Amino acid sequence: MELAWALAAAADDRLEGATRFDVYVALGAGDTATAIRDLTRLVAREHVELDAEVVAAVKAWWAANNQGGQHPPLDSRRV
C-alpha cells in the first residue's frame, strides 16, 4: 500500500482526468496492484524521477507479483 501511495505522490502533477480518477479509485478500493501497475507505466512514460528507494521497491514488487517479466524503465535520482 505504501508503494502505491509513494508512486501516486511522485506522479501527482502528471495525473489528469480519467487516469487520476482511476488511480485514486483503485487506491481507495484497496486495489493496490492495479494502482501500482498503472502508476509504474505512467511514471515510465512521463519520465517521472523517483527516489532510488521507490525504484527498488517497484522492481521488487514487479518481480514478486510476476507482472509479465520486466517492469517499465524508470528514472531514479537520490534526494
Alpha carbon distance 22, 38 (integer Å): 9
How high is the pLDDT of residue 71? 62
Name the residue with higher pLDDT: 18 or 63.
18
- C-alpha span between 68 and 23 (Å, rounded): 20
| pLDDT tens-digit map of 36-65 | 989 998 998 898 999 999 999 998 888 888
Buried b (16+ CB within 10 A) or exposed e, 49-79: ebeeebbebbeebbeeeeeeeebeebeeeee
Domain ranges of the chain: 1-65
Measured between alpha carbons, how far is 43 from 10 in angstroms, rounded to an integer? 8
